Structure 1
Amino acid sequence: MKNNKTGLVFFPAFDWAISPTHPEREERLLYTRDQIFEEGVLDLPEIEEYAPRLATIHDIARVHFCVPRVQSQVTEAHLIAAGSATLLADAIVHGELKNGFALVRPPGHHAMRVVHGNRGFCNINNEAILVEYLRRHHGIKRIAIVDSDVHHGDGTQDIFYHDPDVLFISFHQDGRTIYPGTGFPNELGGPGAYARTINIPLPPGLGDETFHYVVDNLILPILEEFKPEFIINSAGQDNHFTDPLGSMRFTARGYAEFTRKLNPHLAVLEGGYAIETALPYVNLAILLALAGHDYSYVREPEWPGTILENPERVARVQRVVEQLRNVWENRDRVDLDKIFGTGTFFQRRKHIYYDTDYIEEEQLERVRRCPNCPGYITIDSRADHGYGHSNRVFCVSIPFTACGACQTEAYDAYEQARGLAQYQFVYLQDKSTDTFLAFDRDKGQEWVSEGPKVGE
């Protein structure tokens, strides 16, 4: 029998910060903690708090190519943030909880498949780690991620861009006006996962009314047809009208109503930097919505009342919604060869900037266009750290549902790259067997990680 409780892990990471004055610093969740205790939310019988736990090194390597190794890119706080999400997921799958809220930091949705450093305040991607954990440990295949952060979830998109079993939907402030400058409607996924990526850029200044127009007319219908086994909300809260980094006008009640409609299995905290005027109220409202409690009384001190929206901008969003609905409805009738070409491999070049660590990365990504599986991926990545320091790595990723032919080709590509002097590190990530290999040319050593025991 399923439990009707909502699980909460609260991990404010008081010992981790990018810098003492950075928006992503220790104080970020202090007021949220006080608000939750003052409202007596943890005394509600429908809410159960769980102690956090650490993810393993292998949980991270299952998703990311961390250069030079996982331990170089993560702190204990990162492992706890990712591990807390998987802890709640375990309880949900086992029927101990109906849903959960991982109220944790550091955030993660800007962390891409290859990690050379911190970008967008993120080193590792908590939601992506959760997806691969659910596949490996619980056999859950069809998963949806809905990202409600003001910034486009470019890292999550990058990781699942070629994955037909993960639906990634992101609504966010238009990338022409905010970091990271991506997330446009034409970013729809690779040839084997077309229309599994849906981006809805929103002009600055829009509020709850247009927010829910997008939810009701695009997101919910797509989810209903996709029929995910598990829904994850990347619960960024910097769309709030007081957030210092965004220019949107959402309210705590708007977020709560969105949570009620979406009904996610698990919400994982992402951005949100109005630590006094927004986070305590938005977090409280989301938690109440997950637990099925009344959230109508939750109101920010600076609540503006009715927000008048620009009709021209609203109409622009409505046109994008209509365009994307048409893409979704006709996804199986599209001639993919006209979009992606007819070659054995689809490839794309990417320039990636690490705004926190000032790293410039150039990537050549190639995905095998296989008729029997999503196809293996190779990434040739060169990162310039400045002052003459750079490194070049080669990465091979084999999908969870790989066919035998792709698995063989991928291992051959790994061995071939090991023999090329230009690559300082060569990695192989075999999700089908849960194996990770890393070759360090300077040391002449190969590190092998197999299964969940590694890192424990």
Structure 2
Amino acid sequence: MASNAGAGKTGLIFFPAFDWAISPTHPEREERLLYTRDQIFEEGLMDLPQIEEYKPRLAENKDIARTHFCVPDVESQVTEAHLIAAGSTLTLADALEKGEIRNGFALVRPPGHHSMRVVHGNRGFCNINNMAILVEYLRTKYGHKRLAVIDTDVHHGDGTQEIFWHDPEVLCISFHQDGHTLYPGSGFVNEIGGPQALARTLNVPLPPGTTDEGIHYVLDNLILPILEEFKPDLVLNSAGQDNHYTDPLANMRFSANGYARLNEKLAPDICVLEGGYAVETALPYVNTGIIQAMAGLDYSHVREPDYVPGAFVQTDAMWREIKKTVDQVNEAWAKREEMVQMVRESLGDFYRRKKRVFYDTDMINESQEESVRLCPDCPGYMTITSSAQRGYGTLNNAFCVSIPRGACSSCREDAKEEYEEHLEDRRIGYVYLQDKDRDKFKFCNNMTHTQKGY
């Protein structure tokens, strides 16, 4: 954990993004934070010595390029609101690392956990992934090696999962409503990460109607024991709040007090707001409970006006399903090293996969082919060939190369060679080189023969 336990404050940042909206009546709108802010001020939380409010700042384009391949470029895919939402998480990271705060909560929008490594547009209300940008910033600026991301949103955190799929040093655990019943239709138990990072991605799909008791069973019997064994430098929480029983986009039965108790047990170093769309009936109470739990305050009085204790009960069938899922995920975690060794021996020098990504907000279909070198000396470089279409027209073709932290000389040379070879391929519109090892990023527009870097 961070070496700043002596700092007792909880840092907060509010950014409602007044000038960003998908549409005026869209569930992801500024009122999500305005009702919360009113509630917190009414409760007098901002006047307490345990709370410190910080002002947001803009993330730099380089912070985005460190995580994403934005097609055609960062400026085309993000607005100022996106840069401020991402930058707010970095402000809290700086405050945490300086010892100014014990923990922090970025109450910001737009959200980000559905945004993947390659970005052609908006999917699941997300353009860029605030949490993933925070992770890469913490690793680059402060040298953290092992980080854990716990996603408590009702929707599977498929973007965060995809970005760290091949990274054994980032543990991604997502519990969510079963993808058979809810967007994005993923997050099943068999999704456990790439061949060199097996069981560093863990998913806990839960049946619709899961209550406080079911979610805390997952926390107590799966998430907390695994965190204790993984021993991350920091625990980060993608704090979605749409497991709440009043959320209009899902079917779970979590309460505000249940969220607060979860936060107290999980003890995240930084929380980043994701989803949650019951703007009046849930968010003010859930956020109040989370903030009080983070600040070490009594949250026992936090309760929604319509909450009735004992109103939601899980059936025996639901309990059996939850316990079976927890057992399966625990088994995968226990066998992680054995699985990595077995899979690496069977795959050869490269791991390849093809996939399709649908951008539901912007109605874009993307086809990808991903290749990762299974290098014995380093994490291995990655290439991605991406083609995006809207309707019958091609939007953009891209070729992306990523050099990992700790890259060996062979992977570095081969990655640069692949980048340079594709600069001559006129079938590809954009070519990118993401050098995480040296924190340098550049791309070329093959149509105009112009290059740019961050």
| TM-score by shorter chain over 0.5 | yes
Q: Secondary structure at the match of 2:347?
A: coil
Aligned residues: CA RMSD: 1.2
Once the two structures are superposed, what CA deviation does each residue of 1:361-387 show, in whole Å capped at 9, x if it has no partner?
010011110111111111000100225
Could you list the runs of 5+ residues in structure 2 that have no partner in the other structure?
Answer: none
Distance 1:441 1:179, change over 3 A: same
TM-score of the pair, normalised by structure 2: 0.97
Moved more, 174-183 or 390-399: 390-399
Aligned counterpart, 2:63: 59
What pairs up with 1:152-171 in 2 under 5 angstroms?
152-171=156-175
Structure-2 change in CA distance of 1:261 and 1:157 (3 Å) = same
For 1:334, what is the secondary structure of its paired residue? Answer: helix
Say whether 1:298 aligns with 2:275.
no
1:279-298 alpha-carbon deviations (Å, 9 max, x no partner): 00000000000000011101
User: Helix, strand or coil: the match of 1:129?
Assistant: helix
The question of whether the paired residues in 1 share the 8 Å contact of 2:196 and 2:340 is answered with no
Report if aligned partners of 2:197, 2:340 keep a CA contact under 8 Å in 1.
no
Displacement after TM superposition at 1:27 (Å)? 1.9
The 2-side partners of 1:177 and 1:291 are apart by: 35
Aligned counterpart, 1:13: 17
- What is the deviation of 1:75? 0.7
Cα distance in 1 between the residues matched to 2:343 and 2:333? 17
For the 8 Å contact 1:55–1:83, the answer to whether it is kept is: yes
Task: Describe the shift of the 1:235–1:304 C-alpha distance in structure 2 as closer, same or farther (beyond 3 A).
Answer: same
Counting only pairs closer than 5 Å after superposition, residues 47-126 of structure 1 correspond to structure 2 as: 47-126=51-130
Deviations 1:101-142 (A, max 9, x none): 001110000000000000000000001100110111111111
Once the two structures are superposed, residues 264-288 of structure 1 have per-residue CA deviations (whole angstroms, 9 ceiling, x without a partner) of: 0000000000000000000000000
2: CA distance, partners of 1:440 / 1:279: 43
**1:143 & 1:200 partners in 2: Cα distance?**
19
Consecutive unaligned residues of structure 1, counting only runs of 5 or more, are 450-456
SS of match in other structure, 1:220 = helix
1:340-372 deviations in Å (ceiling 9; x for gaps): 842211111111000000000010011110111
In the alignment, the residues of structure 2 paired with residue 105 and residue 280 of structure 1 have an alpha-carbon distance, to the nearest angstrom, of: 15
Residue in 1 that maps onto 2:182: 178
Say whether the 8 Å CA contact 1:103–1:269 is kept in structure 2.
Answer: yes
Query: Counterpart of 1:438?
Result: 443
Is the counterpart of residue 405 in structure 1 residue 410 in structure 2?
yes
CA contact (8 A) 2:387 2:394 kept: no
> What's the TM-score, normalizing by structure 1?
0.97
Q: Summarize deviations over 1:144-179 as a string: whole Å, max 9, x none.
A: 000000000000000000001100000000001010
Shift of 1:416: 1.2
Percentage identity across paired residues of the two chains: 62
Shift of 1:336: 4.3
Question: What's 2:152 paired with?
Answer: 148
Deviation at 1:26, TM superposition (A): 2.2
Name the structure 1 match of 2:360: 355
2:258 paired with 1:254:
yes
| Counterpart contact for 2:27–2:277, Cα < 8 Å | yes
Work out whether residues 116 and 158 of structure 2, in 8 Å CA contact, stay in contact via their aligned partners in 1.
yes
The match for 2:349 is: 344
Letter in 2 for 1:373: C
Secondary structure of the structure 2 residue equivalent to 1:362: strand
Amino acid at match of 1:334: M
Deviations 1:288-343 (Å, cap 9, x if unpaired)?
Answer: 00000011101011213212112101111101111111111121222644588422
Are the aligned partners of 1:183 and 1:201 in contact in 2 as well (CA < 8 Å)?
Answer: yes
**Alpha-carbon offset, residue 407 of structure 1:** 1.1
- Conserved in 2, the CA contact under 8 Å of 1:191 and 1:340? no
